[in-house]
Amino acid sequence: MTRRVTDFIVVGSGIAGLMTALSLAKIGEVVILTKAKEEQSNSFRAQGGIAAAVGENDSPELHGKDTLRTGVELCDPQSVDLLVHMGPSTIDLLNQWGTDFDREGDHLALGREGSHSVSRILHIGGDSTGAGITSSLLTQAEHHDNIKMITHTLVLDLWLQQGICRGVTAVDLEKDPVLYVAKKGVVLATGGCGQLYQSTTNEIVSTGDGFAMAYRAGALLRDMEFIQFHPTALAVEQNPMFLISEAVRGEGAILVNELGMPIMQDYHEWRDLAPRDVVSRAIYSEMSQNHQIYLDATSMNERFEERFPKIYHQCIYHGIHPSQDLIPVTPAAHFIMGGIQTDLYGQTTIPRLFACGEVACTGVHGANRLASNSLLEGAVFAQRVASRLSSLEPLEAHIEERDLFHLPTLCKDKQIEEKWKQKIKKVMWEKAGIVRSSEGLLDGIAQLKELSLQIPDGYVECRNMLITAQIIMKAALWREESRGGHYRYDFPKTLPEWASRHNEVRRSDYESNCFETVYS
């Protein structure tokens, strides 16, 4: 078995992982591990933009107010305050690292998205913000002597010694085992878990690996019931689904049915710019009544191609002309608000294990994420993680024979693996999707348990999907109310007594699929 010792290990190559690595590379060697290509992340796919209070009529306080309102009384005010006040300086840092945001004359171009009270969304190339930011960060990382990017490497588990996270076990492209040891600490920046669902905008690699690894290691996970379904994925058969950015509605597009009649006036006073959970449930409700839902952007005429070139060309590819045709849309799993519980510096409940980005639960998003706060969260808390990690003294690695691991027989039949994945996705979409119930969740939990007895250990991603899916299901069953991204039709009201309660779960006995739940 290959062993490699470094100062810091970062798992994931999205905005959170890259900014953590670049911040740490000033003081030590960083190894970035990613299981596919370096640009294969949800960050790279992000369209709409990154939110920050940089406009003349904006302020961190107003940004914070919008974030707290959208989070439906479940955000951590300290975390939100940190996010919004570090927003402007984070934009400056991204500029220093080569990110070129769109401008209108001498000023930054600012778009509007749902639940924002002002225009504060910075973007790149109109609708290629994620690609613009991560490309510039990747360029910086590739030219940094202290950063080693290792692609096509599947991290299997965290490696702990005496309760302290000291590294990770992994397999490389040739399926050879590797033990990576960190002198100072490990950072999980593995992204989300959208691929647990049949319909998702998430990159194909987003199978919940970080949540499952942290859970197996004994870390605390929090608020996993809160899944955000983006209202407007392009309704064509593909995985991942192509996102029609919320910024399109911010520019005046409206949701209509097959008769061309607007729908959102019946659901929320903010209509098409209502919070994402409201819009997704509205579309779900209309579809349940056999309506087809479309985005009508014809009022933008030729301006659509200029403002949203990437979306425009994807529509044209599918024979849709946005200046004259309605764009068919459907909700899709997009983001998880919960994750590995951290403090304000990204420290998890396991010493020397940190998390940032979508895999972490910092308390910023509460029950529902404000549009375009995800890239900002990853960038802000990456800096916080690096700040705390930089202060830690290095530990010596004592690797004994019992520390070395033996690989399960890894699956090689991708067709069989895909069959198992589709079964998990179907259960999650039908039983823990946009609208949930006790009956459906109990049935889903039973189906997942049955699958866990059938799928061999060698299907690593499937096993990770199963663990994460079960945690989500059981958290959703526990919360007997509706709030933000969690909606129960058997408990449709948002109840004050649940506002301060968080679902927290840690490993008790994974082998028997038993979960220990702590209520707070």
The closest of 67, 42, 58 to 111, measured between CA atoms, is 58
Structural fold of domain 413-519: Methane Monooxygenase Hydroxylase; Chain G, domain 1 (1.20.58)
Return phi, psi of residue 447, to 5°. Answer: -65, -40
Looking at residue 403, its pLDDT comes to: 64
State the span(s) of the chain assigned CATH 1.20.58.100: 413-519
Residues classed as catalytic: 276
Three-class SS of 63-128: HHHHHHHHCCCCCCHHHHHHHHHHHHHHHHHHHHCCCCCCEECCEECEECCCCCCCCCEECCCCCC
Say which CATH class 2-226+337-394 falls into: alpha beta
Instruction: Return phi, psi of residue 63, to 5°.
Output: -60, -40
The whole-number pLDDT of residue 46 equals: 86
Tell me the CATH number for domain 230-333.
Answer: 3.90.700.10
Residue 306: how many other CB atoms lie within 10 Å: 10
pLDDT at 513: 42
Q: What is the pLDDT of residues 386-416, one digit of tens each?
A: 999 999 999 987 777 666 677 777 887 889 9
Residue 518 is predicted with a pLDDT of 40
Per-residue pLDDT of 479-504, as tens digits, reads: 999 999 999 999 999 999 999 899 99
Instruction: Return the amino acid letter for 315.
Output: C
* Predicted local distance difference test score (pLDDT) of residue 401: 67
| Share of the chain residues as helix, strand and coil, in percent rounded to the nearest 5 | 35, 20, 40
Is the backbone peptide bond immediately before 492 cis, with ω within 30 degrees of 0? no
170, 181 contact by CB (below 8 A):
no
Do residues 68 and 77 make contact, with C-beta atoms less than 8 angstroms apart? yes
The identity of residue 156, as a single letter, is: L
Model pTM above 0.85 = yes
Residue 39 has what pLDDT? 86
For the chain, give every residue range classified as CATH 3.50.50.60: 2-226+337-394
**Residue numbers of the chain with a pLDDT score lower than 50:** 509-520
Considering the chain, tell me which residue range(s) the CATH 3.90.700.10 domain(s) occupy.
230-333
Q: What is the rounded CA–CA span in Å between residue 171 and residue 169?
A: 7
